[in-house]
Amino acid sequence: MALSSTTTGHLTFMDFLEHGHAIASEGLKPISNEKSFQLTIGNEAGDADSIVSALSLAYVNNLCESARKSIIVPLVSVPRADIPLRRDAVLLLDMAGVHTDDLIYSDDEIVSKLLADTADSSITLVDHNRIRSSLSHLSHKVSAILDHHEDEKSHEQVTIESGNRIIAFEDGLATVASTCTLVAEKLFRVIEPSALIDRSLGLVLLGVILLDSVNMLPEAGKGTPRDKEAIQTLLKRTDWTSIANRPPPTLIDDAALDKIFTNGRDAQPDRPALFDALSGAKFDPKFWQGMSAQDCLRIDYKRFPVTDSSVRSIGISTVLIDMKSFLEKQNLQQVMADYVESENVDIFGVMSMHCNDEGTWMRELLLTGINAKIVDTFADRLLNHPDAAFLEIAEEPNCINGNETVRLFSQGNIKGSRKQVAPVLLSFASTLS
């Protein structure tokens, strides 16, 4: 049943997140055994979409009377120490008045209790549809999926017919640019048409959808009609005047805020200015230049297990820096070799994306792995197979002299993100025995 307000009888979005630890801890006490836990978890890369969609979906689910039978706990899917690396997400949450210290992270002590086999808990996956390998023993606890990646056909207990398996991916393409679009669509269904959306919630959903759709820039080819509708509805229905008792942002100065809120802090934000601020934090060249090779690889990394294949798994990191600068990182070859070993991957890819001096976006790809033979096999697939032709892969000279386990490529199709590259590699891996 729709609710007349997003806050009637509920905590605000900010308060819901601020008190999450206390609510979860209270629920773990023996006296509270009559309630179960519902954990909302993003993918292991932990980008802004995964973080914000997990936080916001948990709040939206908490608005539904049927869901309040459970204690709903949103998890940030990265270790607590790693959150400063997610600069766009941190900046957006700060602008919304959310303190990242208040959130629950994947390595917090309370999480091991909530995810214990003996705990009465279920798991909702957002921004991915196959639970990470480190939690694979909890596959049976997955009860809902909200995602926009190709369906990996895991967790068959979560069915489309039940309404709990929502995967916005058809005919090789995502039908939304952001999982936050799916959360926004659910929010619009939950509240009454006349109800206003909490400013903090509206701002974080809007910010991530703008990021993931590249502010609906046609040349980027990311945004879809559903993203456009979500953006317009959030701008129209969010109560931008609700700034009472809201802590001022600490990570952005007044001049930058004035550009975003050109008509005053209690008015709706300027779309391009909000996107530019978040995109600037995400792509900041000084930030990427100053990071170690290890941090570059782990800031946006996903591991893809492979079944019934001689290939155990594939790992792909995304870096927002040109490949030449990335290859100049100190101890890079050893760091990549250690990554291949520690992550138990046979093929490891590094996808780079950056804007060159002419203002043109560029994509490059590095492939490495456990040996030169398997790397060459996958390289041949990318270069010559019809299934990979849409990526427009071309070989680049190997500037890592003497290392035959590294191949470098340019990628002509800048729209081909990890969502498109990973399925190509996984499909090939499934044919190897």
Domain containing residue 20: CATH number: 3.90.1640.10
With respect to residue 76, please indicate whether it lies within any of the assigned structural domains: yes
Q: What is the pLDDT of residues 346-392, one digit of tens each?
A: 999 999 999 888 888 899 999 999 999 999 999 999 999 999 999 99
Does 313 lie in the same domain as 251? no
Q: Are strands 36-41 and 70-75 parallel, antiparallel or unpaired?
A: parallel
How many domains does one find in the chain? 2
Report the run of H or E that residue 167 belongs to, with start and end: strand 165-167
Does 307 lie in the same domain as 263? no
From 237, 260, 279, the end of a domain falls on 279
Residue 59 pLDDT greater than 70, yes or no: yes
Q: What is the pLDDT of residues 69-126, one digit of tens each?
A: 788 999 999 999 999 999 999 999 999 999 999 999 999 999 998 988 888 899 999 9
Q: Which two tokens stand for residue 12?
A: 């605000």
Does 295 lie in the same domain as 259? no
For the chain, state the CA radius of gyration: 22
From 233, 250, 279, the end of a domain falls on 279
Does 399 lie in the same domain as 303? yes
Does 374 lie in the same domain as 313? yes
Contact assessment for residue 240 and residue 199, using Cβ atoms and an 8 Å cutoff? yes
Residue 8 pLDDT greater than 50, yes or no: no
Does 192 lie in the same domain as 121? yes
User: How far is CA 404 from each of CA 44, 370, 398, 399, rounded to the nearest angstrom?
Assistant: 29, 11, 9, 11
With respect to residue 6, please indicate whether it lies within any of the assigned structural domains: no
From 257, 279, 301, the end of a domain falls on 279
Entry pTM: 0.90
Average pLDDT over the chain reads: 90
Is 161 buried (19+), middle (13-18) or exposed (0-12) by CB count in 10 A?
Answer: exposed
3-state DSSP of 248-290 = CCCCCCHHHHHHHCCCCCCCCCCHHHHHHHHHHHHHCHHHHHH
Q: How far is CA 391 from the centre of its chain?
A: 22
Query: How far, in Å, CA of 334 to CA of 288, rounded?
Result: 19
With respect to residue 167, please indicate whether it lies within any of the assigned structural domains: yes
Does 197 lie in the same domain as 68? yes
Does 259 lie in the same domain as 124? yes
Q: How many CB atoms lie within 10 A of CB 237?
A: 17
| H helix and E strand count, the chain | 16, 13
Give one DSSP letter per residue of 358-369, joined into a string.
TS-EEEEEEEEE
Does 128 lie in the same domain as 61? yes
Q: Which two tokens stand for residue 48?
A: 């802004």
Does 324 lie in the same domain as 272? no
With respect to residue 5, please indicate whether it lies within any of the assigned structural domains: no
Q: What is the pLDDT of residues 238-264, one digit of tens each?
A: 999 876 556 678 888 889 999 999 988
Does 200 lie in the same domain as 78? yes
Residue 33 pLDDT greater than 60, yes or no: no
Query: How far, in Å, CA of 317 to CA of 46, rounded?
Result: 12
Domain containing residue 275: 13-279
Does 316 lie in the same domain as 269? no
DSSP 8-state symbol, 194: T
Query: How far, in Å, CA of 197 to CA of 184, rounded?
Result: 10
Question: Which amino acid is residue 279, in one-letter code?
Answer: S
* CATH number of domain containing 420: 3.10.310.20
| Percent of all residues in the chain with a pLDDT value above 90, rounded to a whole number | 74
Q: Vertex 197, ends 194 and 203: CA angle to 5°?
A: 145
pLDDT of residue 67: 53
With respect to residue 153, please indicate whether it lies within any of the assigned structural domains: yes
Beta bridge partners of 353: 363
More confident residue, 321 or 30: 321
Contact assessment for residue 55 and residue 204, using Cβ atoms and an 8 Å cutoff? yes
Report the run of H or E that residue 350 belongs to, with start and end: strand 347-355
